[in-house]
Amino acid sequence: MRESNLPLALILLAVIFFVIAIVFLIKAAAQRRRFAGRAVGKVIEVKVTKEQYTRRSSNDDYRTGQRTWYAPTIEYTVGGKTYRSAAERAAAASYYVKGKEIEIYYSPKNPEKFTAISADNKKKGGLVMLGISAGLLLIGLLLSLGS
């Protein structure tokens, strides 16, 4: 890449990171509205499934492998009523240990629906992306003014 194109490339990269940040923040806000309730749940059971996959690598070779998914069943109480719900699947084996208590976020409209992933994690990711975007934009602008 020629030196004169570098500021433009950095500004373009900043815009891409900015769009990604906005998507993260919108998803975090939507999740916060949908799963506004909080409760402590207990992992009752963890169903382990293994999935085979084939992926093409950059040199057109095919790689096969196996992914392991964990589907925890969580029991929690909302308004005096106990719910037992199973997550579709998750990847973190160490987080879903039978008998472990975890914080969950449930839908006040439908308490059987829950997530163990905090909207705060998505918000933090969005804020990190905004910071990267601002840094790239600043560097790109400084380089373009220096040219």
Per-residue confidence band for 1, with pLDDT thresholds at 50, 70 and 90: very low
Cα separation, 17 vs 20, whole angstroms: 5
The arithmetic mean of pLDDT across residues 39-49, rounded, is: 90
Cα separation, 102 vs 114, whole angstroms: 12
What's the pTM value of the predicted model, to 2 decimals?
Answer: 0.61
Residue 85 has pLDDT above 70, yes or no: yes
pLDDT, tens only, 88-142: 767 667 778 889 998 888 999 999 888 877 667 778 888 999 999 999 999 999 9
Domain range list for the chain: 1-33+117-147, 36-112
Amino acid code (one letter) for 118: S
Per-residue confidence band for 3, with pLDDT thresholds at 50, 70 and 90: low
**Higher-scoring residue by pLDDT: 118, 84:** 84
- pLDDT for res 42: 94
